[in-house]
Amino acid sequence: MGKFIRAVASGAAAGAAGVTALNAVTYLDMVTRARPASSTPEESVRKLSEKTGISVPGNDDQRSNRVAGLGPLLGIGTGVMAGVVLGVARGIGWRPNAVVGTFAATGVALLAGNAPMTLLHVTDPRKWSASGWISDLVPHLAFGVVASSVLRSLRSPR
């Protein structure tokens, strides 16, 4: 059980570091291109609320503020869980080199972040422009570089 807990904890740490890098690159992109924040995190919360029947409490202003906070928290949780998946894979013996690890972590983060939003009909990657794809891929690549590096730097579970 200790090996599994260590793998989960290592993955969570890698995911937290990765999502911090993803957010930093996203905010730098917003500053550089003067683009607005994405509405997809908040829209995801609204759609999840509808689909699950779990309402966000409060009057209109309170609910709006809660949704504004829940959107980014959903993204952080997704990044941490993506890291946990990678940590557990490492815990059961998967030891990719730096390049493969980076691309695997990037792919896991892209899938974890975009698949639910696609299934909820919040977004449709098939309709994204090249600029939209770059705006999504670059921060997820930052996640992959950092999460993979953190996992490789942590002592392997024994």
Q: How many domains does the chain have?
A: 1
Is residue 93 a part of any domain in this protein? Answer: yes
Is residue 158 a part of any domain in this protein? Answer: no
Is residue 67 a part of any domain in this protein? Answer: yes
How far is Cα 17 from Cα 120, in angstroms, rounded to an integer? 27
Q: What is the pTM of this model?
A: 0.93
Is residue 65 a part of any domain in this protein? Answer: yes
The residue segments making up the domain with residue 129 are 2-153
| Residue-wise pLDDT tens digits, 116-151 | 999 999 999 999 999 999 999 999 999 999 999 999
| Residue-wise pLDDT tens digits, 8-58 | 999 999 999 999 999 999 999 999 999 999 999 999 999 999 999 999 999
Is residue 128 a part of any domain in this protein? Answer: yes
Is residue 37 a part of any domain in this protein? Answer: yes
Cα 92 to Cα 21, 125, 129, distances in angstroms: 26, 32, 38
Structure tokens given for 152: 């490789």
Is residue 97 a part of any domain in this protein? Answer: yes
